[in-house]
Amino acid sequence: MALPKPHEADLVVIGAGPAGAAAALAASRAGLSVVLLDEAASPGGQVYRAPPAGLSVSPGKRGPDDDAGDALRAGIAASSVVWRGSARVWSVSGAFRVDAVTPSGNESFFAPRLVAATGAHERLVPFPGWTKPGVIGLAAATILLKSQGMIPGRRSVVAGCGPLLAAVAAKIVVAGGAVAAVVDLSGPGDWLRALPGLARRPDLLRQGLGWALKLGAARVPVLFRHGVVAVEGAEACERVVAAPVDTEGRPRGGSLRGFEADALAIGHGLVPGAEITKLLRARHHFDPAAGGWTPVRDAFGRCSVAGLYAVGDGAAVAGAEPARLSGQLAGLAAAHDAGRIPLEAFEREAASVRAGLARMSAFAGAVGRLMRPRPAMVEAIAPETVICRCEDVTRSEIETAIAEGARDINQLKHFTRCGMGPCQGRMCGETAAGLLALQVGSREEVGYWTGRPPLRPVPLADLLGRFDYGDIPVPTPAPL
């Protein structure tokens, strides 16, 4: 069987969350032919994730995100955007070719322009016991709750930083689960300082206060300026131990608090999932406020590689609504760059979107500060703690490799196998780079994992399909 025929379009958008969907719609409205790809079965991304086929959110439990998600899906369905769900993009090459494993095998898509809207992944600073069953990411918990109405455990601790803490804890309570405690790295003072910024989005602030009230009504203890220092249990999470921390998240001594719990949902912020821009070797810079390494972009999301645009939390973590607006800008820019929107109209349309984006910046900045990377937490990790769970690499093994001469993150990977497992470094990368930066001086010196395909691990059987030996295009033999 030969490879299927390629699909061509004016624009391919990878990722159908708020950013990618908005980019696809804006470009499509301006007359570009657009293919929108996502690994999920329906558009929406993580924040507006649709329930699986055949299920729906019961009317009493619907929130604003459910309505926004339905509106997004209706918008895509009513447009001329070619929607391709259940498409796992594993390779992006050239200018541009996108290869995805779909239910019908490997398919190739070609377009002169590409929008990467791939969202963020979680930052989790390791502590003893973090790899035990029952410990899940804070954002992962929102996916469980949103897509399936599942609670992480019978009795959960919710820990980390940022607005997701209250959201997850409140949703667990609403769904009928127990929350043993909320453990927040931030103190009341940090939240007070964030308030003016948060107040720029009254709708979200109201939503957040609603969550807080639910937690109060359920008498959920909230430990401000505390961090999780251990998860204990024979086989799985049985007990979560928290301790007071300083402003940078570093344990500062003081009495430990233990909570019986069979689940811990924990997250220390979000990291841009900028794998595609790295794969295409666009320029990147390290921006802690945006979550880490982020592609260098102009105001419209244009990267240093011609025809490549990066938007949403996959480029710089800022939240759903800024993501949508950044996607819309990139969609307009792609159409303008393709000659479909004259300069004047482009500037007029873009100006109002940019004004909206500017109004969001105070809110995004406030949330960003609450969820900022905290290098001191990495510094405080105990030597025997596992950093890379795929390959079982501890902090002390990383320190040994550094002593043996490892100076950049890819060299460290060679020395230790840290990051070579199926998570492809998404879980351990931030911590390993943080540890290395403590020795060599900066995250810039340390660099980032070289971008390589596949963008996600892909089963060979799905990728290779059925084939006959005679059809394999074996090149000319090497010289004897």
Q: Which is nearer to other proteins, 58 or 469 (CB)?
A: 469
**Contacts within 8 Å (CB) and 24+ apart, 391-400:** 391/416, 391/417, 391/418, 391/419, 391/420, 391/421, 393/417, 393/418, 393/428, 395/126, 395/435, 398/432, 398/435, 398/436, 399/435
Amino acid at site 259 = F
Smallest distance from the beta carbon of 441 to other proteins, in angstroms? 13
Are β-strands 393-394 and 155-160 bridged in parallel, bridged antiparallel, or unpaired?
Answer: unpaired
Q: Which is nearer to other proteins, 66 or 391 (CB)?
A: 391
Which of the stretches 208-216, 284-292, 371-379, 450-458 binds other proteins when contact is defined by CB under 8 A? 450-458
Which of the stretches 183-191, 258-266, 368-376, 459-467 binds other proteins when contact is defined by CB under 8 A? 459-467
Q: Which is nearer to other proteins, 56 or 400 (CB)?
A: 400
Task: Give kind and range of the element (H or E) at residue 434.
Answer: helix 429-440
Helix (H, G, I), strand (E, B) or coil at 205: helix
Determine the Cα–Cα distance for residues 53 and 368; give it in Å rounded to an integer: 34
Q: Does residue number 480 form part of the binding site for other proteins (CB under 8 A)?
A: yes
The phi, psi pair for 459, rounded to 5°, reads -65, 130
Cite the DSSP H helix spans in 225-301: 275-279
Helix (H, G, I), strand (E, B) or coil at 263: strand
Q: Does residue number 415 form part of the binding site for other proteins (CB under 8 A)?
A: yes
Q: Does residue number 131 form part of the binding site for other proteins (CB under 8 A)?
A: no
Residue 274 tokens, joined: 């900028």
Determine the Cα–Cα distance for residues 293 and 119; give it in Å rounded to an integer: 13
Q: Does residue number 463 form part of the binding site for other proteins (CB under 8 A)?
A: yes
Q: Does residue number 223 form part of the binding site for other proteins (CB under 8 A)?
A: no
- What mask, x for binding other proteins by CB under 8 A, covers residues 416 to 445? -x--xxx-x---------------------
Size of interface with other proteins, in residues (CB under 8 A): 47
Q: What are 157's strand-pairing partners?
A: 181, 264
Q: Does residue number 106 form part of the binding site for other proteins (CB under 8 A)?
A: yes
Q: Does residue number 454 form part of the binding site for other proteins (CB under 8 A)?
A: yes
CA 405 to chain centre: 32
Which of the stretches 195-203, 258-266, 336-344, 413-421 binds other proteins when contact is defined by CB under 8 A? 413-421
Helix (H, G, I), strand (E, B) or coil at 299: coil
Smallest distance from the beta carbon of 420 to other proteins, in angstroms? 7
Determine the Cα–Cα distance for residues 423 and 180; give it in Å rounded to an integer: 30
Q: Does residue number 97 form part of the binding site for other proteins (CB under 8 A)?
A: yes
Which of the stretches 90-98, 138-146, 244-252, 348-356 binds other proteins when contact is defined by CB under 8 A? 90-98
Q: DSSP letter at 2? A: P
Which of the stretches 72-80, 288-296, 347-355, 398-406 binds other proteins when contact is defined by CB under 8 A? 398-406
Smallest distance from the beta carbon of 393 to other proteins, in angstroms? 12
Work out the burial of residue 45: count CB atoms within 10 Å of its CB; fewer than 13 is exposed, 13-18 middle, 19 or more buried.
buried
Q: Does residue number 401 form part of the binding site for other proteins (CB under 8 A)?
A: yes
Which of the stretches 139-147, 188-196, 233-241, 457-465 binds other proteins when contact is defined by CB under 8 A? 457-465
Contacts of 84 (CB under 8 A, 6+ apart): 35, 36, 37, 38, 100, 102, 107
Smallest distance from the beta carbon of 280 to other proteins, in angstroms? 9
Smallest distance from the beta carbon of 360 to other proteins, in angstroms? 36
Given candidates 62, 281, 285, 348, which one binds other proteins under the rule CB under 8 A? Answer: 281
Q: Which is nearer to other proteins, 90 or 211 (CB)?
A: 90
Given candidates 54, 59, 94, 339, which one binds other proteins under the rule CB under 8 A? Answer: 94
Q: DSSP letter at 61? A: G
Which of the stretches 162-170, 289-297, 342-350, 469-477 binds other proteins when contact is defined by CB under 8 A? 469-477
Angle between helices 343-370 and 320-337 (to 10 degrees): 150
Q: Does residue number 5 form part of the binding site for other proteins (CB under 8 A)?
A: no
Q: Which is nearer to other proteins, 192 or 478 (CB)?
A: 478
Q: Which is nearer to other proteins, 93 or 352 (CB)?
A: 93
Termini Cα distance of the chain? 31
Q: Does residue number 283 form part of the binding site for other proteins (CB under 8 A)?
A: no
Determine the Cα–Cα distance for residues 118 and 109; give it in Å rounded to an integer: 17
> What does the binding site for other proteins look like in residue numbers (CB under 8 A)?
3, 90-91, 93-94, 97, 99, 106, 108, 281, 401, 404-405, 407-408, 410-411, 413-415, 417, 420-422, 424, 450, 452-454, 457-461, 463-464, 467, 469, 472-480
